[in-house]
Amino acid sequence: MQKRIVVYRRLPEALLAELKRDFHVDDFGHLENFEDPAFRAALKEAHGLVGASQKITPEILDAAPHLEAIASVSVGVDNYPVDELTRRGILLCNTPDVLTETTADTGFLLIMATARRAVELADFVRRGEWQASLGASHFGSDVHGKTLGMVGMGRIGAAIARRGALGFGMRILYSNASPKPALEEELGARRRGLDELLGEADFVCVTVPLSPETERLIGQRELGLMRDSAIFVNIARGGVVDEAALIEALDAGRIRAAGLDVFEREPLPADSPLPHMANVVALPHIGSATHETRHAMARRAVDNIRLALSGERPLSPVNEDARPL
């Protein structure tokens, strides 16, 4: 019997065709929400799910009684009830490594663009306001030689730190659940408590996964520890930051600027002040969004679901204890 896979995120045609050779595939790559009746009917028969950016709830799992595995086209797994999946014996897979360098590029893009006011000044030129040589009111901040404080030093955090240390001569501080002696050796990185890092860093860059422990990790108190010349960058998840407190700190000049790729609500609501603030660079969650990397993520997800539904160990399982592999 051909196992059935429901796809709820657009996949490259060639990868879809590859899946269809061995599985029955219901493609909902343009799905807006999980209430779609046709999606629900397919879910009822599904053994595998492939997708991202939609919250998978226990209610959805109840509607998929035959589900064996989920392959997320993402490295973040905050959209999945991992413990519940494990309890139900449903394997969850994600796409680490293939997106590390691209996402780190996005992080450093935000550091540079925010420090040098690139978006604000490009708009200035676009509006035809560049009529004379610029003075101090348009100057940005240096990046080279400054102190970069990494909140989270996993794969993506380490890749950003490498860019800073090796490319821009930056001093690297990091706060992380565990020490990173190899990075301390390689980059001269030094581990700090969060409060200490926030007080010392010229740039604070958040890369921690969103979890109950990191939800609103950066709030009014933490932002208040930062220097008023410091720049805040978030490429993790919006939920890691108290967005109202960030807006207030930016507005009051308690921090200089922010570079944001993620937000509490996405897409960013039309009434959010963030995109209209001169000291904010707001990007639409493009961390891994290049042709090459999104194809590599889809490739990884397709390989994961194929292996998982064939009873083999996927390339990047999240909850291996969901079933013996």
**Whole-angstrom distance, CA of residue 60 vs CA of residue 43:** 8
Classified as helix, coil or strand, 116 is: coil
Comparison of 99 and 249: residue with beta carbon closer to ligand 8YV:
99
Comparison of 48 and 51: residue with beta carbon closer to ligand 8YV:
51
Q: In the annotation, is 237 catalytic? A: yes
Residue 72, beta-bridge partner list? 51
**Whole-angstrom distance, CA of residue 298 vs CA of residue 28:** 15
**Whole-angstrom distance, CA of residue 15 vs CA of residue 295:** 9
For residue 190, the surrounding DSSP H or E stretch is: strand 190-191
Under 8 Å CB-to-CB from 131, ≥6 apart: which residues?
none
Question: Nearest 5°: phi and psi at 322?
Answer: -65, -35
Comparison of 53 and 310: residue with beta carbon closer to ligand 8YV:
53
* H-helix segments, 23-99: 37-45, 58-62, 82-87
Catalytic residue among 47, 162, 171, 285: 285
Which range, of 69-77, 140-148, 154-162, 263-271, touches ligand 8YV by CB under 6 A?
69-77
Catalytic residue among 237, 294, 299, 306: 237
Residue 91, beta-bridge partner list? 69
Residues 253-282 that bind ligand 8YV (CB under 6 A): none
Contact string (CB under 6 A) for ligand 8YV, positions 44-63, x = contact: --------xx----------
Residue 316 as a binder of ligand 8YV (CB under 6 A): the answer is no
Comparison of 110 and 255: residue with beta carbon closer to ligand 8YV:
110
Rule CB under 6 A: choose which of 48, 76, 149, 164 binds ligand 8YV. 76
Q: In the annotation, is 285 catalytic? A: yes
Q: In the annotation, is 196 catalytic? A: no
Nearest-5° Cα angle at 181, 176 to 183 = 80
Residue 100 as a binder of ligand 8YV (CB under 6 A): the answer is no
Which residue, among 36, 100, 95, has the nearest Cα to 300 in the 3D structure?
95
Catalytic residue among 266, 292, 312, 313: 266
Residue 75 as a binder of ligand 8YV (CB under 6 A): the answer is yes
As measured in angstroms, the least distance from the Cβ of 297 to ligand 8YV is 7
Residue 287 as a binder of ligand 8YV (CB under 6 A): the answer is yes
As measured in angstroms, the least distance from the Cβ of 131 to ligand 8YV is 40
Under 8 Å CB-to-CB from 49, ≥6 apart: which residues?
5, 6, 7, 8, 43, 56, 64, 67, 69, 70, 71, 305
Comparison of 85 and 226: residue with beta carbon closer to ligand 8YV:
85
* H-helix segments, 203-290: 220-225, 243-251
As measured in angstroms, the least distance from the Cβ of 210 to ligand 8YV is 9
Which amino acid is it at 289? A
Which residue, among 32, 28, 25, has the nearest Cα to 10 in the 3D structure?
28
Comparison of 114 and 316: residue with beta carbon closer to ligand 8YV:
316
As measured in angstroms, the least distance from the Cβ of 74 to ligand 8YV is 3
Residue 99 as a binder of ligand 8YV (CB under 6 A): the answer is yes
As measured in angstroms, the least distance from the Cβ of 164 to ligand 8YV is 21
Tell me the two tokens of residue 147: 């102190």
Q: How many residues bind ligand 8YV (CB under 6 A)?
A: 10
CB 287 within 8 A of CB 102: yes
Residue nearest to ligand 8YV (CB): 76
Residue 74 as a binder of ligand 8YV (CB under 6 A): the answer is yes
Active site residues: 237, 266, 285
- Residues forming the site for ligand 8YV (CB under 6 A): 52-53, 73-76, 99, 287-289
